[in-house]
Amino acid sequence: MREPLRADMFADPDCSGRLQPIRFGDKWSGMVLRCLEDGPRRFSELRVPLHWITPKVLTETLRAMERNGFLTRTAHAENPPRVEYELTVLGRSALGPMNVACDWAREHLPALAEAREAYERG
C-alpha cells in the first residue's frame, strides 16, 4: 500500500512557486510527475497536494501529459468508475533530469531570488 500524498508536499518554504527556473512541460506537469513517481494515483489523490489547481486545469494537464506519452489513464470497469493515472517509461525517464534540475535550483535559489529582485528594482 502506497503512502497517501501529503497536502503540503509542495509547500517547501525554500522553493517559492515563482522561482521555477526550469520547467518540465507546462506549468503543472513537473508536480504531476512528482505525485506519480511512487505509482498510480486517482484524480482525487492528485487533488490533495495540488489543491490550488482547479479540477479543469488538472484535467487538461493530465490529458496533455497522456497525449505526450508521459502517463497512461486507466479506467477500471467498476461501479462507481475508478480511473488511475500512471507514469509511462517515457514519463519515468523525466524523473532523473527533473531531480538534477531540482537539485540545481535548490543550490542556486538564493542567487536566483537575488537576481530577480535586482531586476525588479530596475
- The pLDDT, as a whole number, for residue 16 is 43
User: In the CATH scheme, what architecture does the domain 29-121 have?
Assistant: Orthogonal Bundle (1.10)
- Tens of pLDDT along the chain (122 residues) come to 688 888 887 766 544 455 566 677 788 999 999 999 999 999 999 999 999 899 999 999 999 999 999 999 999 988 888 999 999 999 999 999 988 888 888 898 889 889 989 999 98
- The pLDDT, as a whole number, for residue 44 is 95
Rounded CA separation 36/108 (Å): 26
- The pLDDT, as a whole number, for residue 11 is 67
pTM of the predicted model, to two decimals?
Answer: 0.81
- The pLDDT, as a whole number, for residue 12 is 61
- Other Cβ atoms within 10 Å of 29 Cβ, number: 21
In single-letter form, the type of residue at position 71 comes to: L
* Grid cell listed for 57: 486545469
- The pLDDT, as a whole number, for residue 57 is 96
- The pLDDT, as a whole number, for residue 85 is 98
Q: Domain limits of the chain?
A: 29-121
- DSSP H helices, 4-121, are 29-36, 43-47, 55-67, 89-93, 95-121
* Grid cell listed for 55: 479540477
